[in-house]
């Protein structure tokens, strides 16, 4: 699915109040759409995060429409999440980005933007990234 087509249905850019869950969904949307396309596997990953909460998706999409520039999106997300939620969000974002076993350049840059904005120390992230890398390395089964 082309990400631009996803937003064609949206109209207007009103102020949107994010909840922590809609902020997570918003950040997840930015990561899965980093390459400009949301494929079927990525849609399934998003559905796992949302767990049937259509309102969180709607609010996240409205926020993305209102603030389409990544630095603005990351600022909005960071302002909604507390420290624990930021760490959990980063773990989810790393998992989404590495789901195909590869961390592409655009994904890496975007994740670094979230890490920098969230202020999570590298020492805290290292075990999470290591675990996600192991989880998504299916070559060990070849």
Cα 52 to Cα 41, 49, 111, 121, 130: the distances in Å are: 17, 9, 25, 32, 29
pLDDT tens digits along 102-126: 788 888 999 999 999 999 999 999 9
Dmax (CA) for the chain in angstroms is 50
The pLDDT of 81-110, averaged and rounded, is: 90
Beta bridge partners of 37: 2
CA-nearest of 32, 57, 54, 55 to 43 is 32
Query: Domains of the chain by range and CATH?
Result: 3-141 (1.10.3680.10)
In the structure, what pLDDT confidence band is assigned to residue 99 with cuts at 50, 70 and 90? confident
Q: What does the pLDDT look like over 15-73, one tens digit per residue?
A: 789 999 999 999 999 998 887 778 788 888 888 999 988 899 999 999 988 888 999 99
C-alpha dist (Å) from residue 108 to 22, 114, 117: 22, 10, 14
pLDDT at residue number 14: 57
Residues paired with residue 2 on neighbouring β-strands, in sequence order: 37
């Amino acid at each position: 699915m082309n990400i631009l087509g996803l937003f064609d249905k949206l109209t207007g850019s009103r102020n949107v109040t994010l909840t922590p869950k809609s902020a997570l969904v918003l950040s997840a949307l930015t990561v899965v759409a980093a390459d400009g396309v949301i494929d079927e596997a990525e849609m399934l990953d998003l559905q796992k995060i949302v767990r049937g909460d259509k309102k969180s998706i709607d609010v996240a999409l409205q926020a993305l429409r209102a603030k389409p520039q990544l630095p603005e999106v990351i600022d909005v997300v960071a302002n909604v999440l507390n420290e624990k939620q930021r760490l959990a969000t980063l773990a989810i974002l790393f998992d989404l980005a590495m789901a195909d076993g590869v961390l592409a350049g655009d994904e890496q840059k975007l994740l670094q933007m979230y890490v920098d904005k969230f202020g999570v120390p590298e020492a805290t992230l290292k075990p999470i990234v290591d675990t996600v890398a192991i989880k998504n390395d299916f070559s060990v089964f070849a």
